[in-house]
Copies of this chain bind each other. A is one copy, B any other.
Amino acid sequence: MEIALQIKMNEKLFLRNPELSALGKKIIQHSIQLIHKNGFESFTFKKLAADIGTTEASIYRYFENKHRLLIYIAAWYWSWLEYRVSVNTMNIKDPAVRLKRVIKLLTAVVEDDIKTTYFNEDILHQIIIAEGTKAYLTKHVTEDNKDQLFKPYKDLCAKIGEIILDYNPKYKYPKSLASTLIEVAHFQNFFMHNLPSLTDFGKDKDESKIVAFLEDLVFSSIKN
């Protein structure tokens, strides 16, 4: 049995759906590799075209520009994370256990037994850590938001907020704590690897330390 994870993406994220053609999939696959290798700033459609063996014009048929492609990749990532949160918290009654699962999922990409995608999810996780915020830290965030481009991120956040409320219905900041959790998981990871003196995990570079910090942070806050 072959399982392919198909995530339904907002039509506004692309000009032509990259999931529906070989070239489209190559664009996503090679984008992730190139952005990971050289960073988003030095990433261009010309370089991407050369890497794939196609032309710049062909890529512009799929995405308006490289920023839209980044939003697409980020949206895919958030949808995928929400899916994994759903799967991993299913049938678990205890909200504390569910929250701990969420924290683990946010912090590191755990090896899945089923290979669901045509690209490396761990690399995807890494580029979201380093480049993900650039998707919305722009002057056109409001228009992009109106086009629902950040819906997967907001859905994930809402879902985590629900779990927080399940644990403690009286907690006053479920949504802010959820978005904080997501961002801090990424930032602490980036700092640990790149600006270690901003963290307490510089020496060992161990992701489980971030998990411990986040668990401490979240559970102290929501304990009444």
Contacts and interface: CB of A to CB of B under 8 A. Distances in A.
A200 B217 contact: no
Nearest to A179: B198
Interface string A167-186: 00000111111111001100
Nearest to A192: B176
A21 interface: no
Nearest to A198: B179
* Identical subunits present: 2
A145 to B, nearest CB: 6
Interface in A141-173: 141-142, 145, 150, 153-154, 157-158, 172-173
Contact of A194 (B142, B194, B200): B142
Given A180-B184, A180-B217, A220-B221, A173 B195 contact: no
Contact of A183 (B173, B184, B217): B184
Nearest to A67: B41
A165 B62 CA distance: 52
Interface residues of A, number: 48
Contacts of A174: 200
Contact of A179 (B134, B157, B199, B223): B199
Contact of A41 (B138, B158, B175, B217): B138
A158 B197 contact: yes
A139 interface: yes
A161 to B, nearest CB: 9
A199 B176 contact: yes
A137 interface: yes
Interface string A115-141: 000000000000000110110111101
A139 B194 CA distance: 10
Interface string A189-223: 01100110111110000000000010011001101
